[in-house]
């Protein structure tokens, strides 16, 4: 039997689907689309689905969500019952967020058809939306474009990050430098999630190393909220500037083009973007790491740009060869 929690999950998922319909180029949602795509409805039989949908629509209308009924008059869905949200009747007062908060909100629409939306909606979204904070949304457009990074986080890890940040608690998590290495356990006084150059970073004070550190969220897992309160408050500086400085401290970041045999050199391809035809683009990677890793995977991986990195890889391979003869 469905619980109140199940009902709430379906209703939140349905609301998100209405709100993001335009981004999917949909003017309306048909019953069949809702049944097929939204978590909470998929497992229901035909009659059970229709009853649940009627109840959910009635509940949402009762609390003021302006849902309109339609019968599709043309196209492949002609004759089907459908629903849409009246945008003018659902406008909310302006709420502004920092870039890292905007990144979180941007994820909500993108996760509208993801399996973990229910858990996400019950946790991170509801907590942030309920805060009603008035803050600067200046970089929201950039933040939303980085939502793909956040999708690597499980709903549980995402919830833990938000929970720790709200309560000012210390966190512990597993950090993997690349997919071929064993995860390291790190402890941090968490400051926030920060978007930077199409990536999202977890930033704060690393307790074990006693220094400011940032970790790309695609490499973070098993986030645990500790009982201890965070002792290192965030600096007065903009956290985005903190991340930029941290990424460049002690390393030279480069962009590089490579050709990698299919299925090989995962340590490199896991950090890059496929351009097709076995070509890969790696952006903002540590130069020394790139040279060592490309040399280790030669000839299955070949750097084609930039020229100075190519020369360093060749020099490293030449030195290694000379030592062997």
Three-state SS for the chain is CCCHHHHHHHHHHHHHHHHCCHHHCCCCEEHHHHHHHCCCCCCCCHHHHHHHHHHHHHHHHHCCCCEEEEECCCCCCCCCEEEEECHHHHCCCCCCCCHHHHHHHHHHHHCCCCCCHHHHHHHHHHHHHHHCCCCCCCCHHHHHHCHHHHCCCCHHHHHHHHHHHHHCEEEEEEECCCCCCCCEEEEEEEEEEEECCCCEEEEEEECCCCEEEEEEHHHEEEEEEEEEECCCCCCCCCHHHHHHHHHHCCCCEEEEEEEECCCCCHHHHCCCEEEECCEEEEEEEEHHHHHHHHHHCCCCEEEEECHHHHHHHHHHHHHHHHHHC
Asked whether residue 198 carries a pLDDT value surpassing 70, the answer given is no
How confident is the model at residue 110, as a pLDDT? 41
Mean pLDDT of 284-297: 87
Mean pLDDT of 141-154: 52
Mean pLDDT of 242-271: 83
Mean pLDDT of 179-198: 80
At 150, the pLDDT band (50, 70, 90 cuts) reads low
How confident is the model at residue 275, as a pLDDT? 95
At 130, the pLDDT band (50, 70, 90 cuts) reads very low
Range with top average pLDDT, 89-93, 281-285, 301-305, 317-321: 301-305
Mean pLDDT of 27-38: 85
How confident is the model at residue 122, as a pLDDT? 37
Q: Using one digit for the tens of pLDDT, what is the confidence trace for 44-99?
A: 888 899 999 999 999 888 888 888 888 877 777 777 888 888 766 655 555 565 55
Mean pLDDT of 262-288: 89
At 156, the pLDDT band (50, 70, 90 cuts) reads confident
How confident is the model at residue 51, as a pLDDT? 92
Minimum mean pLDDT among 53-62, 135-144, 271-280: which range?
135-144
User: 89 or 28, which is more confident?
Assistant: 28
Tell me the average pLDDT of the chain.
Answer: 76
How confident is the model at residue 64, as a pLDDT? 80
């Amino acid at each position: 039997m469905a619980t109140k929690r199940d009902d709430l999950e379906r209703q939140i998922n349905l609301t998100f689907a209405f709100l993001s319909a335009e981004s999917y180029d949909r003017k309306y949602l048909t019953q069949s689309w809702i049944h097929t795509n939204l978590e909470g409805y998929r497992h229901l039989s035909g009659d059970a689905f229709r009853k649940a949908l009627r109840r959910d629509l009635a509940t949402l209308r009762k609390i003021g969500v302006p849902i309109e009924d339609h019968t599709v008059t043309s196209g492949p869905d002609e004759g089907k019952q459908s629903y849409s949200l009246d945008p003018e009747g659902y406008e909310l007062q302006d709420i502004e967020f920092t870039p890292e908060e905007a990144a979180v909100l941007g994820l909500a629409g993108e996760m509208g058809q993801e399996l973990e939306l229910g858990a996400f909606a019950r946790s991170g979204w509801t907590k942030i939306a309920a805060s009603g904070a008035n803050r600067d949304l200046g970089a929201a457009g950039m933040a939303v474009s980085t939502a793909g990074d956040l999708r690597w986080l499980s709903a549980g890890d995402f919830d833990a990050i938000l929970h720790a940040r709200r309560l000012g608690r210390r966190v512990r998590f597993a950090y993997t430098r690349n997919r071929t290495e064993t995860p390291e356990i790190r402890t941090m006084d968490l400051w926030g999630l920060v978007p930077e150059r199409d990536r999202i970073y977890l930033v704060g004070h690393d307790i074990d190393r006693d220094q400011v550190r940032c970790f790309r969220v695609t490499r973070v897992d098993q986030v645990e909220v500790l009982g201890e309160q965070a002792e290192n408050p965030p600096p007065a500086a903009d956290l985005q500037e903190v991340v930029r400085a941290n990424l460049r401290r002690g390393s030279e970041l480069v962009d590089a083009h490579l050709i990698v045999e299919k299925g090989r050199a995962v340590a490199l391809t896991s950090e890059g973007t496929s351009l097709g035809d076995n070509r890969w683009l790696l952006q903002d990677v540590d130069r020394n790491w790139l040279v060592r890793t490309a040399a280790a995977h030669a000839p299955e991986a070949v750097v084609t740009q930039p020229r100075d990195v190519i020369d360093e890889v060749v020099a490293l391979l030449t030195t290694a060869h000379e030592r062997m003869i």
